[in-house]
Amino acid sequence: MLDPITFSSAKPAPGAFATTWAAHGPTRTVRSPIDGAAIGSVTTATAEDAESVIAAAHSAFQGWRLVPAPRRAEVVRQLGQALRGRKEDLAQLITLEMGKPIAESRGEVQEMIDICDFAVGLGRQIGGLTLPSERVGHRLQESWHPLGVVGVITAFNFPAAVWAWNAAVALTCGDTVVWKPSSKTPLTAVACTRIAAEVLERNGHPGAVCSLVIGSGREIGDRLVSDPRVAMVSYTGSVPTGRHVGRVVQERFGRHILELGGNNAAIITPSADPEQALAAVFFGAVGTAGQRCTSTRRVIVHESLYDRMVEGLKSGYARLPIGDPRDEGQLMGPLVDPAAVQTMQAAITRAQEQGGVVLQGGEVLEREGGCWVTPCLIQAHPGMAIVREETFAPILYLLSYRDLDQAIALHNDVPQGLSSAIFTNDMREMERFLGPAGSDCGLANVNTSTSGAEIGGAFGGEKETGGGRESGSDAWKAYMRRQTAVINASGSIALAQGVSFEL
C-alpha cells in the first residue's frame, strides 16, 4: 500500500480525491522553503475534477448523515489514533513543506489529535433543548441535524491543523468535507487526506466523506465558494479574499465561517512581570516566523517599562537561533517563499518612511532557497498607517503608553480583531481589559501570549477577522442546522398567542 507520507518529484501525486485519486490539471512541483529543493509534485485539479469531487461529496452526505453520531465519532477517534501513529512523519513533512520549526510542527499535529479527541466526546453530546410550550399538552424540542457538504479552504501557515479543526467536528456532525488547501502546501494535504481515506475505508465508507481538491484559489476555490451544493464554506486566509468569499457565499444564502487576518497586540502594564511578558511576546512575535494569524504584531508598553522591554527584546532577537527548522533547537526557520521576503522588506521600508525606527533585525539572509530573514523590531508611533495593517512576517511594532484607557484605545484602533493580551498583576486592569470596554478581539489573554490557542475554546475574531468561530466550545453548532419542533400530544388543536380560528 502507498505510504501516505511519501512523495517524489518524478511521480506526481494526484491532487483530487473523492472516491478515487484522479486529477487532470497541470503538474506542480513543490519546493521546500528551507533550501528550494524539489520535495514532491502534485497533479492539480481541473474544473471538471472539482465538479466530480463536489458531486461525490454531496452524494456521500445522503448516507453519512444517517450514520448515528457516536458511530461517526468512532471513525474520528480512529482518525486521531492514525494521526498519533504518524505524528512524527507528518510533522517532518509540515516542516519540510512550509518551514516552521519541527517542535511547532509536532504541536500542529498534536492539535489535530486533540480536536479529534474533542470531536469523539461531541458525538455523544450533540443535543438540543426541550422548552416549555404555552399550550397545554405541547412541548418545544430543538434538534440539530447534519448540514451538508462543508468546503474547507485553508491557508499555508497551518497546513494540517485548520483542516482537522474543521474536518473532525464536521464529520462528527454528519457533514461531508471537501478540502481545498493552500497551493503552497499541497503535499501535507494529500498526506492528511490519504490517512483519513484509509480510516474511512476501513470503516466501510470508501469515498467522498473526506475529499480533497488541489488547485488555484481563483478557479478551484471559487467553485467551492459559489456552488449551492456546498452548504457551508469554512474559509481561512487573508482579509481581501475572505471579503470576496463572504460576499459570494452570502449572495447564495450559504453559510460561512470566516477566519481572516489578525493584527494582534500585547499591552504590558507597570505591574507586569517583565520576564514573563518578554518570554510571551518573544514567542508571539517570532514563533512560526511571524506567520501565525495570532502572531504578536504590536506591543503597547507602559512608559515606565519601555526601555527595559526594548533592551530585553533586542537581546532576545540578537540571540535567536535561526536555521534549518528540521534541527532540534532552532526557533525560527525560513519564510514560506521568496515573495514573503519581498513583502516583509517592502513593509519595513514603508514603516521607515512613516517615521518608524528599526531597532533590530529585518535583514535578508543570503541562504539557499531565498526565504531567510531576521525578525524585525520597529519603534513606532500611533500615526503610522502600516501599524494598522497585517504584514504576514516577523515584524514587531513597539508603542508606549501612559494610561490604560489610552493603551486599550490604541489596542483596538485597528481593523482586525483576532487575538489580544494584557500583562498585569492588577486585577482591576485585567477586568477592564476583559470587560465590555476592553479588548475588542475574539481571543483575550491575560499574562500569556496572543498566539498558541488551545482547541477547547471557540477560535476566531471580530471586525475584519470575519466573525467566524471554529474548533471547541459550541462552535460545532455552525456545522449543523437547528430545527425547532412543536409536538402536540393534547388531542386537540390550540393556537399560540391565544388565537382563535374556528369555523
Q: Shortest approach of ligand NAD to residue 467 CB, angstroms?
A: 10
The residue number with the shortest CB distance to ligand NAD is 217
Which pairs from 243-252 meet CB under 8 Å and 24+ separation?
Answer: 245/153, 245/221, 246/466, 248/222, 249/225, 252/226, 252/228
**Contact 97/185 with Cβ under 8 angstroms?**
yes
Query: Taking the CB of residue 427, how many other CB atoms lie within 10 A of it?
Result: 10
Helix (H, G, I), strand (E, B) or coil at 202: helix
Q: Shortest approach of ligand NAD to residue 24 CB, angstroms?
A: 19
**Of 302 and 411, which CB lies nearer to ligand NAD in the complex structure?**
411
Query: Taking the CB of residue 127, how many other CB atoms lie within 10 A of it?
Result: 10
Q: Shortest approach of ligand NAD to residue 383 CB, angstroms?
A: 24
- Residues interacting with ligand NAD, by CB under 6 A? 153-158, 180-183, 217-218, 221-222, 225, 236-238, 241, 244-245, 259-262, 293, 390, 392, 418, 465
Q: Shortest approach of ligand NAD to residue 449 CB, angstroms?
A: 15
**Of 429 and 464, which CB lies nearer to ligand NAD in the complex structure?**
464
* Lateral strand order in the sheet of 357-360: 357-360, 376-379, 395-401, 296-302, 264-268, 419-423, 443-446
**Of 126 and 286, which CB lies nearer to ligand NAD in the complex structure?**
286
**Of 61 and 392, which CB lies nearer to ligand NAD in the complex structure?**
392
Residue 426 CA: distances (Å) to CA of 332, 388, 436:
33, 28, 18
**Of 106 and 244, which CB lies nearer to ligand NAD in the complex structure?**
244
The DSSP secondary structure of 429-454, one letter per residue, reads: HHHHHHSTTS--SSEEEESS-SS---
Q: Shortest approach of ligand NAD to residue 68 CB, angstroms?
A: 31
**Contact 468/234 with Cβ under 8 angstroms?**
yes
The helix, strand and coil proportions of the chain, stated in percent and rounded to the nearest 5, come to: 40, 20, 40
Q: Shortest approach of ligand NAD to residue 156 CB, angstroms?
A: 4
Active site residue 328: no
Residue of 97, 104, 111, 259 marked active site: 259
**Of 309 and 393, which CB lies nearer to ligand NAD in the complex structure?**
393
Q: Shortest approach of ligand NAD to residue 392 CB, angstroms?
A: 5
**Of 46 and 236, which CB lies nearer to ligand NAD in the complex structure?**
236
**Of 308 and 350, which CB lies nearer to ligand NAD in the complex structure?**
350
What one-letter code names the amino acid at 136? V
**Contact 159/182 with Cβ under 8 angstroms?**
yes
Query: Taking the CB of residue 243, how many other CB atoms lie within 10 A of it?
Result: 14
Instruction: Compute the Cα dihedral for 308, 312, 318, 322 and give only its sign.
Output: negative
Task: Find cell 514587531 and name the residue.
Answer: 396
Residue of 192, 210, 293, 441 marked active site: 293
**Contact 210/176 with Cβ under 8 angstroms?**
yes
Q: Shortest approach of ligand NAD to residue 435 CB, angstroms?
A: 24
What one-letter code names the amino acid at 28? R
Active site residue 259: yes
The DSSP secondary structure of 44-58, one letter per residue, reads: PPPHHHHHHHHHHHH
Residue 263: which of 470, 458, 469, 461 has the closest Cα? 461
Instruction: Compute the Cα dihedral for 424, 428, 431, 435 and give only its sign.
Output: negative
- Mind telling me the catalytic residues? 259, 293
